[in-house]
Amino acid sequence: MDQQTRRFGRYEVSILHDGFYEAPIDVLTHAAGPAARDGAIAAWGRPTLRIVVNCFVLRGPGGVTLVDAGTGTSWGDAYGHARSALVALGLTRDSVDRVLITHLHGDHALGLFDGEAPYFPNARILVPATELHFFTDADKRLSTPENRRGGFAIAETLQRLYPERVDAITGSDDILPGVTLIPLPGHTYGQSGYLIENGGRDLLLWGDAVHLETLQATDPEVGLVFDLDGAGAVATRRDILGQASDQGWIVSGGHVEGFKTVRRVGNAFELVPAA
Ligand SMILES: [Zn+2]
C-alpha cells in the first residue's frame, strides 16, 4: 500500500490526485479587513496560490465509492488526473457504485460529466440536501453574484445527465456503514464532509473547509473570494479544526496534501502528517 492509500475501519481509502489549482493571490480574503489580508498575503510569500486538487476512493462495504470526482476534462490538461489515478488502482469508471459529493464546485463535481454523458454509467450521485436545494433554487441563483453561479450550472447538468440517480442526503441518513455526513456550511451553504469510522482515529474528508492548510490553520480567518458565506466559512473552519483536534481525527480534503492530524497551537492550529 502506498502513502496515498490507507485503511480506515471498513474501508481502504485512496487519495486521487487530480491536479493543481493556481490563482492570483488577490483571491485571498481576511475577516478582519485589509491590513490583516495584507499580512496573510505577506505570510504566503508568493504571487500566486498553488494548491493541490484531490478526490478520494473508498473500497469496502457497498463496493466502490468516490468522494468527489475531480474536474474531468473541463479545466484543461493541468487537471483531470483523478481519472487515470483510479485506473492505476485497478478500477474502472464502470466499477464506481456511488459518488459522495462534498459541494457542487467544478474541481469537485465536473468530473461527473463526460461532455453530455454521465462519466460514471453505473453510479448513484449523493449530494448534501442543503447543497442540492440551494443550487437548484432559481431565487438563490438570482441573489448570487454572476461570477459565483457555477454550482447552479453543475446542479442543472447533474440532474439532466443522471436522471433518477441523484440522491439528496442529510446527516441522519444511512449513507454507508460507518460513514456519516457532517455539515460544513460557509464555503458553500450546503458543503458537507464525510466522517469514516475508525475506532477513535476516524477520518474526516472535509471538502473545502480548508483550502490553504498552513495559512488557514494558523489563521482560520483567512478565506478565499470563492466562499459564498465568508463569515460562515470562518466559523466552520475554526469549529471543525477544533473538533478534529479534540477528537484525534485524521483529516484530508480537496486541497490537503496527504492525510493529516490537527494540533492546537495557542488559539490556532497546525496540520501535521498523520503517523
Ligand atoms: Zn475546491
Distance from the CA of 207 to the center of ligand 1, in angstroms? Answer: 7
Distance from the CA of 175 to the center of ligand 1, in angstroms? Answer: 22
Average pLDDT over residues 116-138: 98
pLDDT in tens, 69-124: 999 998 888 899 999 999 999 999 999 999 999 999 999 999 999 999 999 999 99
Q: How many domains, in total, are found in the chain? A: 1
Distance from the CA of 37 to the center of ligand 1, in angstroms? Answer: 21
Of 40, 46, 43, 39, nearest in space to 24 by CA: 46
Residue 268 belongs to domain spanning: 5-273
| Placement of cell 440536501 in the chain | 129
Tabulate helix, strand, coil % of the chain (nearest 5): 30, 30, 35
Distance from the CA of 101 to the center of ligand 1, in angstroms? Answer: 11
The pLDDT value recorded for residue 1 is 43
Query: Which residue blocks in the chain are alpha helix, DSSP H?
Result: 34-44, 82-88, 106-109, 129-135, 138-143, 150-161, 213-218, 230-247
At residue 224, the 3 state secondary structure works out as strand
Given a cut of 70, whether residue 23 has pLDDT beyond it is yes
Cβ 56 vs Cβ 68: under 8 Å: yes
Report angle CA 174, 171, 58 to the nearest 5 degrees. 60
Cβ 80 vs Cβ 48: under 8 Å: no
Instruction: Report in angstroms the alpha-carbon separations of 164 from 115, 128, 178.
Output: 19, 16, 25
Name the pLDDT band for 259 (thresholds 50, 70, 90): very high
Residue type (1 letter), 38: D
C-alpha–C-alpha distance, residues 176 and 249, integer Å: 19
Residue type (1 letter), 248: G
The pLDDT value recorded for residue 200 is 87
The length of the chain is: 275
pLDDT in tens, 146-174: 999 999 999 999 999 999 999 999 999 99
Distance from the CA of 173 to the center of ligand 1, in angstroms? Answer: 24
Percent of the chain residues past pLDDT 90, beyond the cut: 96
Distance from the CA of 254 to the center of ligand 1, in angstroms? Answer: 6
Cell numbers that stand for 165 in this block: 440517480
C-alpha–C-alpha distance, residues 92 and 121, integer Å: 11
DSSP code of residue 91? -
Of 203, 241, 200, 204, nearest in space to 219 by CA: 241
Average pLDDT over residues 51-55: 96
Cβ 129 vs Cβ 213: under 8 Å: no
Residues 6 or more apart in contact with residue 51 via CB below 8 angstroms? 20, 21, 211, 212, 255
| CATH code of the domain in which 254 resides | 3.60.15.10
pLDDT in tens, 7-16: 999 999 999 9
| Largest Cα span, the chain | 51
Distance from the CA of 87 to the center of ligand 1, in angstroms? Answer: 22
Distance from the CA of 211 to the center of ligand 1, in angstroms? Answer: 7
Name the pLDDT band for 2 (thresholds 50, 70, 90): low
Distance from the CA of 163 to the center of ligand 1, in angstroms? Answer: 25
Distance from the CA of 53 to the center of ligand 1, in angstroms? Answer: 7
Average pLDDT over residues 217-229: 96
Strands 96-100 and 63-67: parallel
Distance from the CA of 188 to the center of ligand 1, in angstroms? Answer: 10
What is the pLDDT of the chain when averaged over all its residues? 96
